Amino acid sequence: MTGGPLVGVRVVELAGLGPPVHVGMIMADLGAEVLRIERPGAADSGVLTHLLRGRTRCTIDIKSAEGPAAVLAQVAVADILVEGFRPGVTERLGIGPVDCARVNPGLIYVRVTGWGQDGPRASQAGHDINYIGLTGVLHAIGRAGGRPVPPLNIVGDFGGGSMLAVIGALAALHERAGTGRGQVVDAAIVDGVSLLAQMQFQYLQEGRWSLLRGANRLDGGAPYYDTYRCSDGRYVAVGALEDTFWGRLLDGLGIEPTRWPDRADPARWPEIRRVLTELFAQRPRDDWDEIFASLDACVTPVLSFTESAADRHLKARGTLTPTASGFEAAAAPRIGPLGSPQNDRIR
């Protein structure tokens, strides 16, 4: 699809790091016109060029006497503003929501922070690991008997942060179409991560989730939802949650299902895991990939970032696109006209 669904939407992004940059990238991927306002002399330290794709960039010293007026001039003709400063910073600079409303009452003002705009921690510094730590999510990730393991910065910064910020911005934009009113979107990572963990919260309250790491169906506790080391030191991912897939897993491993322990009984999990560990260790990872490619058993190779660029499925879809230095993720999701045989790219 040429242009994308957000063609005609103008976004002002106040330069920063992490989630707000990701928001700007997604908006640009969807077709919006994104202007990134950067500080003089700032070299975008820590911001990867792939995250900056699709932007127009300009320099404004927002701390100078003329800076706020220059920002507000851009805000006056924008639909969305995205900022990731600590609460109160843009207000002190003269470009807060009230200032922006004076020049553009229909503006969607998106604020992406870790702790949110209020609460005891609102003014504190933090990073992804801190935000997911407070929500209970980090506590749940790791091996049995081990310490919590940070899942990169994907769950907090981008899952609970930028992705929920984009949803909030688009929802506010839709609401404005009917009322003409602008909105402030308070996209706090702690709120977003908690929302992502809604299923686990319910399981916990129903007595179906243990606070012990590595003791649940989805945290590596169950032997049928875990990774296994192969003879070449690489790994496969096994996600045979349902009985159908479990049966096909056993077929691929050459096991007679009727002679297998009851996997519904957690007391038998160590025994099952021991056998699966021994079996997967007998062949290299790619051999297992070939065996399970046609079995539909929810068994796939665990690929490194580099290997993923050569994967046959990702290549066929164009999920990763070549660049001068390697590759980058293509725009997502794909959006195309209803009734078309295959969705076109949104860019």
pLDDT in tens, 51-66: 899 999 999 999 999 9
- Give the containing element (helix H, strand E) for 301: strand 299-301
- 263's tokens: 């996997």
Burial class (CB in 10 A: 0-12, 13-18, 19+), 262: exposed
**How many angstroms separate the Cα of 303 from the Cα of each of 176, 307, 329?**
43, 6, 15
* Calpha distance 137→131 (Å, rounded): 9
* Calpha distance 284→289 (Å, rounded): 9
CB atoms within 10 A of CB 313: 9
Chain mean position to CA 94:
32
- Amino acid letter, residue 38: E
- Give the containing element (helix H, strand E) for 313: helix 312-317
- Give the containing element (helix H, strand E) for 80: strand 80-83
What does the pLDDT read at residue 344?
A: 54
- 181's tokens: 């009113």
pLDDT band at residue 201 using 50, 70 and 90 as cut-offs: very high
Is 174 noted as a catalytic residue in this protein? no
What does the pLDDT read at residue 163?
A: 97
The alpha carbon torsion through 20, 21, 23, 24 (nearest 10 deg) reads 120
- Give the pLDDT confidence of 96-111 residue by residue, as tens digits: 999 999 999 999 999 9
- 103's tokens: 């020049």
- Indicate the angle between helix axes 19-29 and 163-179, nearest 10 degrees: 60
- Give the pLDDT confidence of 122-147 residue by residue, as tens digits: 999 999 999 999 999 999 999 999 99
Average pLDDT, rounded, for the chain: 94
The alpha carbon torsion through 112, 113, 115, 117 (nearest 10 deg) reads -70
Helix, coil or strand: residue 12: strand
- Amino acid letter, residue 43: A
**Above 90 in pLDDT, residue 48?**
no
What does the pLDDT read at residue 159?
A: 96
pTM: 0.92
Question: Do strands 225-229 and 108-113 pair parallel, antiparallel, or not at all (unpaired)?
Answer: unpaired
User: Which residue of the set 157, 191, 219, 289 is catalytic?
Assistant: 157
**Above 60 in pLDDT, residue 43?**
no
Is 243 noted as a catalytic residue in this protein? no
* Calpha distance 183→196 (Å, rounded): 23
* First-to-last C-alpha distance (Å) of the chain: 6
- 16's tokens: 């920063």
What does the pLDDT read at residue 223?
A: 97
User: Which residue of the set 127, 186, 251, 311 is catalytic?
Assistant: 127
- Indicate the angle between helix axes 189-196 and 163-179, nearest 10 degrees: 100
Chain mean position to CA 146:
25
* Calpha distance 82→110 (Å, rounded): 5
**Above 50 in pLDDT, residue 1?**
no
**Above 50 in pLDDT, residue 226?**
yes
- β-partners of residue 112 are 187
* Calpha distance 241→224 (Å, rounded): 6
